[in-house]
């Protein structure tokens, strides 16, 4: 079985050293990073308490002005490759399936972690809550494969 991790962009950066360890010890897995270059959980937490401090929650990488997409937050592809891993950036939903197949190929060929970075719109509401049975959903849940035909049901 393949191992797949899922993180938001800032969450991913908290424990990014796991990439170097995975590369060093030849631990292949796919790490999906949903990147909106924005501290969305802080914005959503403020919203939950009816407050908005207008804190700068976005990050633009001014050192990558030559490439707007790479400058959209941290360039996780460059970081992953610098740590001895492989990475694929996904910009459009229709690229998802091909990118996942490419990540699986890279993982098997190189036996290292592969980062799949999905570029999202800046303000993205995600499910959240203080307890597992008190989750706020911002969109209707998909209850069957037909509700979300682009979702992966089984990876193998």
What residue ranges define each of the domains in the chain, with the CATH number in brackets? 4-147 (3.40.50.970)
Residue 155 has pLDDT above 50, yes or no: no
Which residue stretches of the chain are H helix? 9-14, 17-24, 40-48, 76-82, 96-110
pLDDT above 70 coverage of the chain, percent: 68
Answer with the residue of higher pLDDT: 27 or 59. 27
Overall average pLDDT of the 104-130 stretch: 86
Residue closest to 117 by CA, chosen among 88, 83, 78: 88
Which pLDDT band holds residue 88 (cuts at 50, 70, 90)?
Answer: very high
Of 144 and 14, the one with more pLDDT: 14
pLDDT at 70: 57
**What pLDDT score was predicted for residue 102?**
97
What proportion of the chain, given as a percentage, has pLDDT over 90? 36
Q: Mean pLDDT, to the nearest integer, of 44-55?
A: 66
Counting other chains too, the contacts that 126-132 makes at CB distance below 8 Å and 24 or more residues apart are 126/8, 126/40, 126/41, 126/44, 128/41, 128/44, 128/45, 128/48
pLDDT greater than 80 at residue 65: no
């Amino acid at each position: 079985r393949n191992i797949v991790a899922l993180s938001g962009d800032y969450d991913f950066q908290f424990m990014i050293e796991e990439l170097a360890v995975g590369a060093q010890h030849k631990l292949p897995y796919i790490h999906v990073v949903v990147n909106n270059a924005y501290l969305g959980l802080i914005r959503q937490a403020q919203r939950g308490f009816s407050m908005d401090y207008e804190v700068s929650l976005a990050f633009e990488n001014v050192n990558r002005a030559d490439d707007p997409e790479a400058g959209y937050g941290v360039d996780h592809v460059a970081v992953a490759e610098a740590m001895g891993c492989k990475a694929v950036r996904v910009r459009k939903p229709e690229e998802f399936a091909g990118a996942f197949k490419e990540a699986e190929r890279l993982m098997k060929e190189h036996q290292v972690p592969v980062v799949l970075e999905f570029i999202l719109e800046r303000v993205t509401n995600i499910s959240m809550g203080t307890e597992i049975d008190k989750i706020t959903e911002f969109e209707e849940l998909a209850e069957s494969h037909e509700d979300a035909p682009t979702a992966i049901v089984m990876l193998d």
